[in-house]
Amino acid sequence: MDVRLQPWSESALDLLRRINTPRMRRHVGGPETEEQMLARHRRYLAMPATGRGRMFAVLLGDELVGSIAYHRRDWRGEQVYETGWNVLPPFQGHGIATAAGAALIAVVREAARQPGTPRFLHAFPAVENAPSNALCRRLGFTLLGACDFEYPPGSGSVMRSNDWRVDLADPGPPGPARHAHPGAPGGAR
């Protein structure tokens, strides 16, 4: 399967429109208005210049089939990287998100080699989003537990999410997740 990440570009606006549907955005507050979606597209285009993350289109061959990103954020008093993804419905269930996620983790591990960068990559899928939680498990994230998570940032809208984490200093390939135990280093809170 030829799954690749392509830096976000003007041509990805159509992909963003295809993602902005009730089905695709049901776990993150529903579709955005055209104005909100265009503002999101501009933020994605500007991300590389900030040095704080990157947005990618996911390609299957030459076809845009999804998106995936990472960016810095403050989480529980420390800087971490956060990731999120989308795969269009006709392409779900074929391993595309797993391939894109593994490729993204490699990109973020490389970025984390720079001094002063976060050590951890987190994902915050909604608790009821079984496919995204399963993807985190397949990619080798460790489940830290459920949490309240504001999305989009600054909106005041809080969703119940699972907090999954990858240690970027661990050079191991993506694999089955470890589940943290209360009281263990990095354990559930």
Does residue 104 belong to any structural domain of this protein?
yes
Pick the range with the lowest mean pLDDT from 54-58, 88-92, 98-102, 170-174. 170-174
Residue 174 within a domain: no
Count of structural domains, the chain: 1
pLDDT for residue 145? 96
In a domain, residue 185? The reply is no
Which pLDDT score, from 0 to 100, does residue 172 have?
Answer: 63
Nearest-angstrom CA–CA distance, 22 and 11 = 22
Q: Is the pLDDT of residue 143 over 70?
A: yes
CATH of the domain at 95: 3.40.630.30
Which of 36-45, 106-115, 128-137, 164-173 has the least mean pLDDT? 164-173
Per-residue pLDDT tens digits for 9-50? 999 999 999 998 888 887 677 889 899 999 999 999 999 999
pLDDT band, residue 173 (cuts 50/70/90)? low
Q: Where are the beta strands (DSSP E) in 27-112?
A: 53-60, 63-75, 78-87
Q: Which residue segment(s) compose the domain that 53 sits in?
A: 3-167
- Structure confidence by residue, pLDDT tens digits, 69-125: 999 999 999 999 999 999 999 999 999 999 999 999 999 999 999 999 999 999 999
| Average confidence (pLDDT) over 166-180 | 64
Q: What is the pLDDT of residue 24?
A: 80
Q: Residues of 114-144 as b/e, b for ≥16 C-beta within 10 angstroms?
A: eeeebebbbbbbbeebeebbebbbbbbbbbb
Residue 174: the pLDDT is: 53
Which residue would you say has higher pLDDT here, 170 or 10?
10
User: What average pLDDT does this structure show over 119-148?
Assistant: 95
Does 187 fall in a domain?
no
